[in-house]
Amino acid sequence: MSLTTSQTTGNSKTRLTDIAEQAGVSTATVSRVLNGKSSVATETRQAVLAALDILGYERPEKFRNRSAGLVGLVVPELTNPVFPAFAQTIEGLLSQRGYTPLLCTQSPGGTSEDEYIDMLQEHKVDGIVFVAGLHADTQASHTRYDQLRTKGIPLVFINGYAQDIDAPFISCDDLTAMELGVRHLVSLGHHKIGLAIGPQRFITAQRKTEGFKNALHKHLGQDDGDQHVATSLFTVEGGQAAANELLDSGHTAIVCGSDLMALGAVRAAHQRNLKVPEDVSIIGYDDSPLIGFTDPPLTTIRQPVATMSQAAVSGLVSMIESATAPTSELQFHPELIVRNSTGTSPEARLASYRINNN
């Protein structure tokens, strides 16, 4: 659907009205923007252009971005909502900087990360952003990244750290995340708290496990952390399996390594006719889009996707434009989002009942 400034029909006026309403400006302002008048503020011009994009109109030729170059964006499968959230945010930020993102999504049995790397090199990309890729797998070789850096291709990595790779790393502070989760559950009277986590070969799983054990020791004086950790997959099914293991051993609260695992934990509880949070409290990780609309709405630990993505894009563009960027790891603080999947422990409720009835 296109819109030209030379149209004077009633249909054109209707379209101008639609754009003006979407942008929150007058039709006269829309007309000035489309005609390239210099008297319009930058913020207003951007609002009108955004309205064009949202309503599906083609931008006039003079407002179409000229690509400063191609940037590869490699993300895992998109079944976990946090990865599309990263992809959408990073794509938008790259576009604002004038770069054209090439999104590469992986799936089991599909195109591998190495195959995407070969394809991106064929397209002569100016840089690549990797989200939770093989760099996060402590058992994977890093030769592929060394070869890219030797060729001078800027790289930035999100969630996962490898000291031997010469590139910036952007991560969520997993140690602090587990501290937030465990402290919240302890404040609700829970003493038997478990961790449902993915494979330990991933650096993010290792850090979450370490942070969880540290928090158990700090808040409950427990030094038997391994007995409270159930390892599975970062999936709904994995969360369900890990939760069943923890519920079998009497845990009344579960911190999960991802929101998908938390949904699996809720399913495991429901299959046992346990109520969430009356019988078992569950915490997720990520605060994926729509996770607040589950039943019950999920208490979770939010990754700051927007600020992490901003840091990643800024680091990559800095490397592209000046060939320099800090190669250390930047860790961003998570936030505990309390909803309805956590509540007072059964033991605390029973103790309160006894006190009130004596």
Q: Which CATH fold topology does 69-172+305-332 show? A: Rossmann fold (3.40.50)
Q: What is the mean pLDDT of the chain?
A: 90
Q: For the sheet containing 155-158, what is the strand order? A: 99-105, 69-75, 127-131, 155-158, 169-172, 329-332
- What's the CATH code, domain 174-303+337-353? 3.40.50.2300
In this structure, which amino acid lies at residue 290? L
Q: Do domains 10-63 and 69-172+305-332 have the same CATH topology?
A: no
Strand 281-286 and strand 155-158: the pairing is: unpaired
Nearest to 316 by CA among 163, 136, 172, 126: 126
Question: On the CB side of 108, how many CA atoms lie within 13 Å of its CA?
Answer: 1
pLDDT score of 56 more than 90 = no
Task: Give the Cα separation of 82 and 172 in Å (integer).
Answer: 13
C-beta of residue 160 within 8 angstroms of C-beta of residue 133: yes
Q: For the sheet containing 335-337, what is the strand order? A: 229-231, 193-197, 253-256, 281-286, 299-302, 335-337
Query: What pLDDT, in 10s, does the model give residues 213-270?
Result: 999 999 999 999 999 999 999 999 999 999 999 999 999 999 999 999 999 999 999 9
Query: What pLDDT, in 10s, does the model give residues 263-322?
Result: 999 999 999 999 999 999 999 999 998 898 999 999 999 999 999 999 999 999 999 988
Domain locations in the chain?
A: 10-63, 69-172+305-332, 174-303+337-353
What's 10-63's CATH class? mainly alpha
Query: What pLDDT, in 10s, does the model give residues 85-118?
Result: 999 999 999 988 889 999 999 877 889 999 999 9
Task: Give the Cα separation of 285 and 218 in Å (integer).
Answer: 21
